[in-house]
C-alpha cells in the first residue's frame, strides 16, 4: 500500500500524526548540533547556518518541484503534477509535510561529510538539487502510487503466486543510503581538510571537534528523533493493528540502537585508543537506528538485537575503509548512514518475521533478497551518478571549495561575519570578588 | 466560534492536544537560549533565570487572576470569575494550560529587548502584570465568549447581511504585536546599553552576543515550536475538516518562514556587511512565522509565500527604524514580533483565500481590512498605554535599571552569585598528554 | 486498576501515547545536560557518556530481565515470564517502552550524586542492577497485576467495607524515592570529591559546575519532560473522563513546580548568599514536580499549590541535612528526588480531593496515611538494603572510585580520550580583523 493511499483516510487522525511529525522534525536540530560540536570553533557558525538553511531551501524547493517529482502523477520514472502544491487535495498536505522533513534530512547528512571546507554557495546549490530532485525521484520509485520498486513483480513458486518487491519501511535505503552515498561522493571530490592526512608518512591526523557537549546534545536529540521517525512512519493509526505496529517499531528501534551502541563501545575499547569513547558510542547507536529503519515494523525484538549487533560491525568496517582511502568525513556520515542503511536494507530479507530467509529458506525468500539488493543497487547507482555530476560540475567551475587561506583561518568571520564565540563578549569584571 | 465553546466538546480528544501543547511549551526554552546566546557572557545567568522565572511567575499569576480576567464570565472589557480556577469545569483545564503558555510567551518577548540592564525585581513585576493583566484583557477581547473584537458587527451589502470581525487565528496581534509593543516601550524607557550608541558621532556600535551556538539552539527550538503553536491553535480535532486545517497551518508556517529567511539572508548579503548572516536569517524566519500566525489556516500556500516575502521586508524596515531612533533592542524583538505581527494582522484582509481583497475587492473585504486595522490599533494602543504606565512607574521609583557599575561588570555575579562559566571550573590537568 | 489491565484496551489509542512517551523520553537528555553543566569541564564527557549509556544498558537489561521481573507473571515478590519480551503480547509493547524509560530515569538520578569520581565500570554495573532488578521489583509491587502494595487490604469502618492501598500515580515513590535513596547510599559509600569538605575546620567548599547555560538547558528540558511524564501516566485515553484527568495532571504539575520554584528562590534570597540563584530555583521547581507525581490526578489546583510550597521546604531541609553529614551530592539529587518524592507520597494521604485527611479526618483516611507510609518505608528499605550491598561490594572490590590522581586531573582524557573542549579546536586566525 502506498503512502498516498494511506493518506486518503486521514481526516480526523491527522493531529496526533502532525504532533509526531513535528517531533521528528526536531532531527534537523539534532544534526545541526552533532555537526556543530564536531567541527572546530572557527567553522561553527558556518555549519549551523548550513543546517538552518537546508530547511528553508527545502521548504521552497520541495514545495515548488520536489514534491511534484516525488508524488505527482506521472510515469514510472518521475511525477509531474502538483507544482507548488497546485491542485493538491488538502488531505495530502500532511504527506507533503512528512516528506518535506525526510528530504531536508537527506540533505543534512551530506553537510556533515563536507564540513569545514565547502563553499556556502555550493551548499545552497546541492541542497536544492538533493531535496528538489535526487531524493524526490527515489521516493517516487519507492513510496508513491507509481512505485515500481515497491510494487515489485509476481512470481509463481509451487503453484502459488506471490508479489515480491523492495521493502523499506522508514527509509534505510531511501534516506540513509542516498544521503550516505551523496556524502561519500561529495567528500571525495572535495578532498580532505588541510592537515587531515599526511600521505607521505601514511598517517591519519585526528582533527577534534570543539565541543563534546554540543555533539552530545545533537546526538541525544537524534536518538529520540529516530523513535518518532520510525514510529511516525506508520503514517496512520486508523487501521486495526497499527497501534501494535507503532509500538513494535519503537521498541525495535530502542533495542537495535542500544545493541549497536554497546558493541561499538566495546569494539573501540578493544582496539585503537583503548578508551571508552562517547562519540563512537553515539555514532554506533545512530547506525543501529539507521539500520533498523527498513524493517522496524516486521522484526521480532531478538532480530532487532541482531540488526544492532551487525550495524556496529558495519559502522566500524565502513569507517575503516573510508579512512584508509584517505577520504575525510568529519562526521563519519558515510559509515553511519551508508553503512547502517545498506545493512538495514539487506537485513529485512533475512530477518523479516514471516518471510525472512532465517525462517523460510526457499525461492520466495531468495527472490525477496534479490529485490532488496536491487533496491540497494538502484538507489546507490542513481545517487552516485547524479552526485558525481552535481559535485563534479561545482568542482570544475571552482565553486566547490573555499580558498586555502580561508580554510586555514576559518569560515565564520570572512563568510558570515559572525564568530561563534566572539572574544570581546566574554569575561566578567568581578575577578577580584571571585579570587579566594 | 470562541475558544471556550470549542473546548466544551473536548473530552477524549484532549490527550493529543496536550502532547501538542507540551511541545509548544518548548518555545519557552527556545526564547531562553536565543536570548542567552545574544547577550554577553557576564549577563548569561541573568537572562536565563529571567526566562525561567516568567514560567513560574505566570504559573501562579495566570492561575490566580490572569485566566479569570481573560476567560472568566464578565463584561466586554474583562472577565471576573474562576479565580485560581475556582469553579472552573475540568473540561476547561486544557484551555487554561494552552493559554497559560501563550501568556508566558508574551512576557518572554519583552525580556529580550530589555536584556543586560534591567533590574531583576522590575522583571518580576512586569512579568506579573503582562501575564496577569495586560495580555489577559486582550485575549478577553479576541478569544473569549465575550470577544467583541472577534464577534465584530453585522453589515448589509447588496441586500446580503454578513458578520465581519477581527481575525487572528494564532495570535499575530494578540501575542506578537502585544509583546513587540511592550518590548518597544520597555527598551525606550530603559535606555540603551552603555556603549551601544555614540550619539555625538551618530555611530551604532554592535554589541555581539557571546555564543552563536546557543542562539542557534534557541532558534531551532523556536522554529519547531512555531509549528506546534500554529498547528495546535486549531484547538480541537473533533470536527470534520480539522485535520486538513492543521496540515494547512503547518505547511503554510514552513513556507512563510522559509521564504522570509531566504529573503532576509539575501537582503543582508546585498546591504550592510555583505555577509551570509546566521542571526539575520534566523530572525527573518521567525518574523515569517510570526506573520503567518494570524491566518495560517486560511491561506493558500502561494499566499503564505507572499506573507513570508513581505515579512522579511517588514523585519528590515522596523529594524532600521528602531536603530535610527537609538533604541537598543539586543534581540531585535520589536522588529521580529511587532514587525511580523502587524504585517500578519493586515495580510489576512488581503490574502484570505475566500474573502481576501486580492480575490474580491468589494465593500465586505474593505470592511474586513478596517476590522483588522481596528484590532491592530486597539491592541497597540492598549499595550502602549499600559506599558508606559507600568515601565514609567518602575523608572520613576528607580527600580527599572541596574546601577552603571553593575551594568559594566555584568549582572551574573552580584545579582545571582552564579557566573555562567566560572573560571575555576575549567581546565584539564593533562596538557602534557595533549601536546604534540 | 493496574497498568497491565489498562493496556489491554490500547489498540488504536496507542499512537498519541507513544508520541507522549517519546516526549517524556526527552527527560534523559534533560538529566544529561543538567549534570553536564553542574560538573567541572574536566569531567564533562564522562558524565555525558554515563547518561548516554544508561539508556543503552537499560535498553538491553530491561528488555532481557528487567521487564520480566516487573510485569511478568509470578508471585507477589517478583515476576518471571516474558524474558526478552518472549511471548509478550504486542499490545503490551507500549507498556514495555513506557516502563523502560522510567527505569532509565531511576538510574540517571543516581549518576548525578556520584559525579566526578565514580568509575565507569561501576557505573555500568549499577545501571544494570538498578534498571534490571532494583527498580523492576518495586514496580512489580506497585504497578503490576500482582501489585500487593497498590491492592492494599479491605477494611470495615462503620459497617462499610473499603479497600485501601498505596497510591502513587506517576512515581513519587517508585521512581524518585528509589532514585534518591540509591543516590544517597552511592554518594555516601563513594565519599566526597577531593576538596569538597574541610572536616577539620568544618567548612563546606562549593565546587562550581562549568556551565550554567548547559545546566539550565537540562532544567528547561526536564520541566517540560515532567509535564509529559505526569500527563502520560494516565496511560490510556479511551475511558470517559481521562481527558480531564490528563489536563488536571498537567495543570497541577505546573502549579506545584511554579510554587516550589518561587518559594525556593525566596528562601535562598533570605538565607545564605542572599542572591537570586538560578540553580536553586531550578532545583526547587524540579522538587515541586517530583512531589506532585504521586497524586497529580487527584488534587485540586490549590492543593497542588500547597504541595509545591512544602516541596520547597523539603528540598531545603534535606539539602541542609545531607550537607551537614558531609555527603557530597554535586547535583542535590537526594534533596530533589528523595525530598520531593517522600513528601509527595505522604501528601496524597492529606490532600486527595475526596479521601484526604484535610477533607475527612476519620479511620479510613488515617489508614490511607498508614499505607502511604508503608509504601514509603518499604521502597526506602528495599532500595537502601540492595544499594548498600551493590555499592558495598563494588567498594570492597576497589571498582567504585577512580584513583586520586585521575580525580584531580579529570576523567575525560584518561578514561574517554575525549576532552569536552579540546584546546586545539579553538581560536580564529582573524584576530587582526576583529581588532578595533
Among C41, C204, C210, smallest CA distance to B419 is for C210
B235 band by pLDDT with thresholds 50, 70 and 90? low
C250 close to B (CB below 8 A) = yes
CATH code at C31? Answer: 1.10.3430.10
Radius of gyration for chain C, computed over Cα atoms and rounded to the nearest angstrom: 22
Mean pLDDT to the nearest integer, A209-218: 97
Res B12 pLDDT > 60: no
Q: Tell me, what's the pLDDT at B247?
A: 84
CB-CB neighbours of B323 under 10 Å: 16
Q: Which of residues 204-243 of C touch A (CB under 8 A)?
A: 211, 214, 217
pLDDT bin (cut points 50, 70, 90) of residue B238 is very low
**Cα angle for residues C118, C388, C229 (degrees, 5° grid):** 75
d(CA C256, CA C349): 17
The verdict on residue C422 lying in a domain is no
Q: Could you tell me where the DSSP H helices lie in C39-92?
A: 44-61, 67-71
Map grid coordinates 539539602 to a residue: C319
**β-strands A197-198, A203-204 pairing:** antiparallel
Q: Provide CB contacts within 8 A for A206, sequence distance 6+.
A: none
Cell of residue C166, nine digits: 498505596
- Alpha-carbon distance of A296 to A229, in angstroms, equals 11
DSSP A358: T
Distance between CA A141 and CA A151 in Å, rounded?
A: 9
pLDDT of residue B2: 38
Q: Is the pLDDT of residue A212 over 80?
A: yes
Please state the rounded mean pLDDT for residues B107-127: 96
Q: What is the pLDDT of residues C11-50, one digit of tens each?
A: 445 656 666 677 777 889 999 999 999 999 999 999 999 9
CB atoms within 10 A of CB C5: 10
Check whether C216 has a pLDDT greater than 60: yes
Mutation site for A-interface testing, chosen from C94, C225, C418 by largest number of A Cβ within 10 Å: C418
pLDDT at B427 exceeding the cut of 80: yes
> pLDDT confidence of A16, banded at 50, 70, 90?
low
End-to-end Cα spacing for chain A: 70
Instruction: Give the model's pLDDT for residue C435.
Output: 44
Please give the distance of CA C229 from its chain centroid, rounded to a whole number: 11
Q: Which residue has the higher pLDDT, C16 or A362?
A: A362
Unique residue bearing C-alpha cell 546549490: A125
Say whether residue A103 is in contact with chain B using an 8 A CB cutoff. Answer: no
- CB atoms closer than 10 angstroms to residue B367: 18
What CA–CA distance (Å, rounded) separates C420 from C41?
Answer: 7
Residue C209 φ/ψ, nearest 5 degrees: -70, 165
Return d(Cα A259, Cα A311) in angstroms, integer: 9
Contacts of C12 in chain B (CB under 8 A): none
pLDDT, chain A, mean: 90
In the predicted model, what is the mean pLDDT of residues C377-392?
98
CA–CA gap between residue B57 and residue B70 (Å, rounded): 17
Q: How far is A299 from chain B (nearest CA, A)?
A: 28
Residues C312-333: what's their mean pLDDT?
Answer: 97
- Alpha-carbon distance of C251 to C302, in angstroms, equals 11
Q: What is the mean pLDDT of residues C288-312?
A: 97
Residues 6+ apart with CB under 8 A from B272: none
The answer to whether A290 and A260 have CB atoms below 8 angstroms apart is no
- Flag whether A10 is in a domain: yes
pLDDT bracket for residue A19 (50, 70, 90):
low
B360, pLDDT greater than 80: yes
Question: Is residue A395, in this structure, part of any structural domain at all?
Answer: yes
- Give the pLDDT score at B25: 76
Subunit partners of chain A (3 or more CB pairs within 8 A)? B, C
Nearest to A42 among C18, C100, C427 (CB): C427
Query: CA B345, CA B354: separation in Å to the nearest integer?
Result: 16
- Smallest CA-to-CA distance from C335 within C352, C317, C350 is with C317
Angstrom distance (rounded) from CA B334 to CA B341: 10
**Cα(B51)–Cα(C217) distance, rounded to whole angstroms?**
11
> Which stretches of C130-241 are DSSP H helices?
135-143, 148-151, 178-190, 212-232
Asked if pLDDT for residue A435 goes beyond 90, the answer is no
Tell me the average pLDDT of chain C.
90
Beta strand A153-157 with B203-204: parallel, antiparallel or unpaired? unpaired
Query: For a pLDDT cut of 70, what percent of chain A falls above it?
Result: 92
Shortest Cα distance from A248 to chain B (angstroms)?
20
Looking at residue B63, its pLDDT comes to: 97
The CA distance from C402 to C394, in Å, is 12
pLDDT at B323 over 60: yes
pLDDT(A121) > 90: yes
pLDDT of B1 over the 70 cut = no
Q: At what angle do helices C278-292 and C340-351 cross, to 10 degrees?
A: 40
End-to-end Cα distance, chain C: 70
pLDDT at residue A12 in the model: 45
Residue pLDDT, tens place only, A59-88: 999 999 999 999 999 999 999 999 999 999
Lowest-pLDDT range, A345-349, B25-29, B252-256, B321-325? B25-29
Quick check: A13 pLDDT over 90?
no
Shortest Cα distance, chain B CAs vs residue A16, angstroms: 5
At C12 the pLDDT is 46
Q: What band does A188 get if pLDDT is binned at 50, 70 and 90? A: very high
What was the pLDDT predicted at C234? Answer: 64
Structure confidence at residue C181 (pLDDT): 98
Q: How far apart are CA A177 and CA A185, in angstroms?
A: 12
SS3 content of chain C, % helix, strand, coil (to 5): 70, 5, 25
In a domain, C340, yes or no: yes
* Residue B161 bridge partners (DSSP): B156
Query: CA nearest B187: which of B86, B113, B282?
Result: B113
Is B284 within a domain? yes
Nearest to C112 by CA among C39, C205, C61, C55: C39
Q: Which residues of B touch A55 (CB under 8 A)?
A: 223, 258
* pLDDT at residue C232, rounded to an integer: 73
Chain C residues in contact with A241 (beta carbon < 8 A): 11
- A197-198 and A160-164 as β-strands: parallel, antiparallel, unpaired? unpaired
Q: Cα B248–B253–B259 angle (5° rounding)?
A: 125
C-alpha cell at B116: 543586560
Q: Which residues of C308-347 are buried (b: 16+ CB within 10 A; e: fewer)?
A: bbbbbbbbbebbeebbeeebbbbbbbbbbbbbbbbbbbbb
A86-95, B14-23, B262-271, C291-300: the lowest-pLDDT one:
B14-23
Measured between beta carbons, the chain C residues lying within 8 angstroms of B57 are 258, 262
pLDDT single digits (tens) A42-60: 999 999 999 999 999 999 9
Among A94, A78, A107, A103, smallest CA distance to A3 is for A94
Q: Is residue C111 part of a domain?
A: yes
Region of poorest pLDDT, from B101-115, B238-252, B293-307? B238-252
Listing DSSP states for B274-312 in one string gives: -S--HHHHHHHHHHHHHHHGGGTTT--HHHHHHHHHHHH
The whole-angstrom separation of Cα B70 and Cα B55 is: 18
pLDDT recorded at residue A233:
73
Q: What is the percentage of chain C residues whose pLDDT exceeds 70? A: 92
Share of chain C above pLDDT 90, in %: 78
Mean pLDDT of B223-251: 73
Confidence of residue C5 (pLDDT cuts 50, 70, 90): very low
Q: What percent of chain B has pLDDT over 90?
A: 78
Domain that holds residue A190: 3-156+163-409
Q: Note the pLDDT tens digit of each residue in C233-254.
A: 765 444 545 667 788 998 999 9
Cross-strand pairs, B401: B118
Q: A163: which DSSP letter?
A: E
Distance from CA of C248 to the nearest CA of B (A): 6
Q: What is the pLDDT of residues A82-109, one digit of tens each?
A: 999 999 988 888 889 888 988 999 999 9
What pLDDT is attached to residue C241? 57
A366-378 residue pLDDT tens: 999 999 999 999 9
Answer whether B23 sits within 8 Å of A22, measured CB to CB. yes
Cell (9 digits) for C8: 489491554
pLDDT tens, residue by residue, C46-79: 999 999 999 999 999 999 999 999 999 999 999 9
Residue pair C24/C229 in contact (Cβ under 8 Å)? The answer is yes
When divided into structural domains, chain C yields a total of 1
Residues in chain B: 436
Ranges assigned E (strand) in A3-143: none
Alpha helices (H) in B114-177, listed in sequence order: 120-129, 135-143, 148-151
A210/C13 touch (CB, cutoff 8 Å), yes or no: no
The CA distance from C279 to C276, in Å, is: 9
Instruction: Quote the strand ranges of C78-220, DSSP E.
Output: 153-157, 160-164, 197-198, 203-204
The predicted pLDDT at position B436 comes to 41
Backbone dihedral angles phi then psi of residue C199, each to the nearest 5 degrees:
-65, -30
> What confidence tier does B11 reach under pLDDT thresholds 50, 70, 90?
very low
Nearest CA in chain A to B213: A420
- How many of the other CB atoms lie within 10 Å of CB of B89? 12
Sign of CA dihedral C273, C277, C279, C280: positive
ipTM of the complex: 0.94
Reported as a single tens digit per residue, the pLDDT across A282-308 is: 999 999 999 999 999 999 999 999 999
Residue C16 and residue B11: Cβ atoms within 8 Å? no
Is the pLDDT at B13 greater than 80? The verdict is no
| Cβ within 8 Å of residue A422, ≥6 positions away | B208, B209, B210, C434
Q: How far apart are CA C79 and CA C86, in angstroms?
A: 14
Q: Is residue A62 part of a domain?
A: yes
Contact A224 C29 (CB under 8 A): yes
Look at A149-163, A228-242, B102-116, B272-286 and tell me which has the smallest mean pLDDT. A228-242
Interface mutation target, options B226, B247, B264, chain A, most CBs of A under 10 Å: B247
Tell me the per-residue pLDDT of B197-211, one tens digit each, with 9 for 90 and over: 987 777 899 999 999
A204 strand-pairing partners: A197
pLDDT score recorded for residue B24: 73
* Residues C412 and C45 sit within 8 Å (Cβ to Cβ): yes
At residue B4, the pLDDT reads 38
Any domain includes B423: no
Rounded-to-integer distance, Cα C421 and Cα A213, Å? 8
> Is residue A125 within 8 Å of residue A54, measured between CB atoms?
no
Give the other-Cβ count within 10 Å of A270's Cβ.
Answer: 8
Amino acid at each position: 500500500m502506498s503512502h498516498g493511499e494511506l493518506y486518503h483516510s486521514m481526516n480526523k487522525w491527522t493531529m496526533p500524526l502532525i504532533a509526531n511529525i513535528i517531533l521528528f522534525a526536531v532531527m534537523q536540530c539534532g544534526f545541526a548540533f552533532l555537526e556543530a560540536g564536531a567541527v572546530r570553533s572557527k567553522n561553527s557558525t558556518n555549519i549551523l547556518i548550513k543546517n538552518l538553511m537546508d530547511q528553508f531551501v527545502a521548504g521552497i524547493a520541495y514545495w515548488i518541484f520536489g514534491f511534484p517529482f516525488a508524488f505527482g502523477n506521472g510515469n514510472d520514472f518521475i511525477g509531474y503534477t502538483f507544482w507548488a502544491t497546485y491542485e493538491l487535495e488538502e488531505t495530502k498536505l500532511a504527506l507533503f509535510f512528512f516528506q518535506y522533513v525526510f528530504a531536508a534530512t537527506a540533505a543534512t547528512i551530506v553537510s556533515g561529510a563536507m564540513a569545514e571546507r565547502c563553499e556556502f554557495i555550493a551548499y545552497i546549490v546541492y541542497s536544492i538539487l538533493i531535496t528538489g530532485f535526487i531524493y524526490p525521484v527515489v521516493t517516487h520509485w519507492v513510496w508513491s502510487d507509481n512505485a515500481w520498486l515497491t510494487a515489485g513483480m509476481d512470481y509463481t513458486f509451487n503453484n502459488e503466486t506471490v508479489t515480491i518487491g523492495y521493502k523499506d519501511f522508514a527509509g534505510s535505503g531511501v534516506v540513509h543510503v542516498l544521503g550516505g552515498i551523496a556524502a561519500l561522493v561529495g567528500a571525495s571530490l572535495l578532498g580532505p581538510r588541510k592537515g587531515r592526512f599526511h600521505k607521505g608518512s601514511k598517517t591519519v591526523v585526528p582533527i577534534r571537534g570543539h565541543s563534546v557537549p554540543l555533539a552530545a546534545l545533537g546526538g541525544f536529540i537524534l536518538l529520540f528523533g529516530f523513535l518518532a521517525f520510525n514510529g511516525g512512519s506508520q503514517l496512520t493509526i486508523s487501521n486495526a493493528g497499527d497501534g501494535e505496529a507503532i509500538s513494535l517499531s519503537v521498541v525495535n528501534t530502542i533495542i537495535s540502537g542500544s545493541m549497536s551502541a554497546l558493541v561499538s563501545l566495546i569494539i573501540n575499547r578493544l582496539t585503537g585508543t583503548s578508551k571508552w569513547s562517547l562519540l563512537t558510542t553515539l555514532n554506533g547507536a545512530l547506525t543501529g537506528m539507521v539500520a533498523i529503519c527498513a524493517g522496524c515494523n516486521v522484526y521480532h525484538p531478538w532480530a532487532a538485537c541482531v540488526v544492532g549487533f551487525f550495524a556496529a560491525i558495519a559502522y566500524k568496517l565502513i569507517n575503516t575503509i573510508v579512512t584508509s582511502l584517505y577520504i575525510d568525513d568529519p562526521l563519519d556520515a558515510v559509515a553511519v548512514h551508508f553503512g547502517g542503511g545498506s545493512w538495514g536494507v539487506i537485513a529485512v530479507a533475512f530477518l523479516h518475521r514471516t518471510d525472512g530467509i532465517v525462517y523460510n529458506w526457499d525461492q520466495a525468500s531468495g527472490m525477496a533478497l534479490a529485490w532488496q539488493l536491487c533496491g540497494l543497487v538502484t538507489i546507490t547507482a542513481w545517487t552516485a551518478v547524479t552526485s558525481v555530476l552535481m559535485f563534479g560540475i561545482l568542482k570544475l567551475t571552482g565553486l566547490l571549495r573555499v580558498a586555502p587561506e580561508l580554510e586555514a583561518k576559518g569560515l565564520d568571520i570572512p563568510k558570515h561575519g559572525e564568530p561563534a564565540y566572539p572574544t570581546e563578549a566574554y569575561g566578567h569584571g568581578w575577578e577580584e570578588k571571585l579570587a579566594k
